[in-house]
Amino acid sequence: MLPAPTRQRILEAAYACVARWGLSKTSIEDVSKEAGLSRSTLYRYFPGGREELIAAVVGWEYDRFFARLYDAVHDATTLEEVLERGLPLAHKAIVDHEVLQRVLETEPELLLPAITVRAEGTIALVAEFLRPYLERHRLAREVDIETAADFLARMVLSYMTAPGRWDLEDPEQVARLVRAELLGGIAPPD
């Protein structure tokens, strides 16, 4: 197995190639040139070839996105704070991600299956992160924490990508969204 710096080098090179030419036009040859490595080295690390490499790059960038999001919200003390901080940051990161936006615009059929495969895992990851906040949050008596965590995870992921009528750059609107729509159904009546 190659050392971690080589893997990182390959992923960074592949990402640069996708940014430059798109998913469908990025080849193993392009990545090997960009990384300054032989094609055989890439094939040793990614024996499944281009498909395996592209899937690894998507996964790598996906993990980096959630690591940055976690860093931004992990020290929040309340559920409201996590959601009010996280939603705008995540939405902005998605909107400002030039490579993601380019691929979604030009080759969505290549990227969407890779994202869809990770969907249930992502929901579970976000739900697990939210669970301790839900345990400390005042919930309506009939609300099950597992159900609430799953619901919130699905809603948060949905609003991150498609906020609808909500302006996620406006803190007042984000606060209303969080309190009225996301937490309104799980909070006890006043």
Confirm if 164 and 116 have CB atoms less than 8 A apart. Answer: no
Q: Model pTM?
A: 0.81
Q: Indicate the helix (H) or strand (E) that contains 3.
A: none
Give the CA count within 13 Å in the CB-facing half-sphere of 37. 22
Q: What is the DSSP secondary-structure string of 84-98?
A: HHHHHHHHHHHHH-H
Integer CA distances (angstroms), 167 to 21, 45, 86, in order: 32, 43, 14
The CATH superfamily assigned to 1-54 is Homeodomain-like (1.10.10.60)
At a CB cut-off of 8 Å and minimum separation 6, what does 86 contact? Answer: 69, 72, 73, 156
Coil vs helix vs strand at 28: helix
Q: What is the pLDDT along the chain (190 residues), one digit of tens a residue?
A: 545 599 999 999 999 999 898 888 899 999 999 999 999 999 999 999 998 998 899 889 888 999 999 999 999 999 999 999 999 999 999 899 888 888 778 777 766 666 666 788 889 999 999 999 999 988 878 889 999 999 999 999 989 988 999 999 999 999 999 999 999 877 766 6
Q: Could you state, in order of their start, the residue ranges of all structural domains in the chain?
A: 1-54, 75-182
Rg (CA), the chain: 20
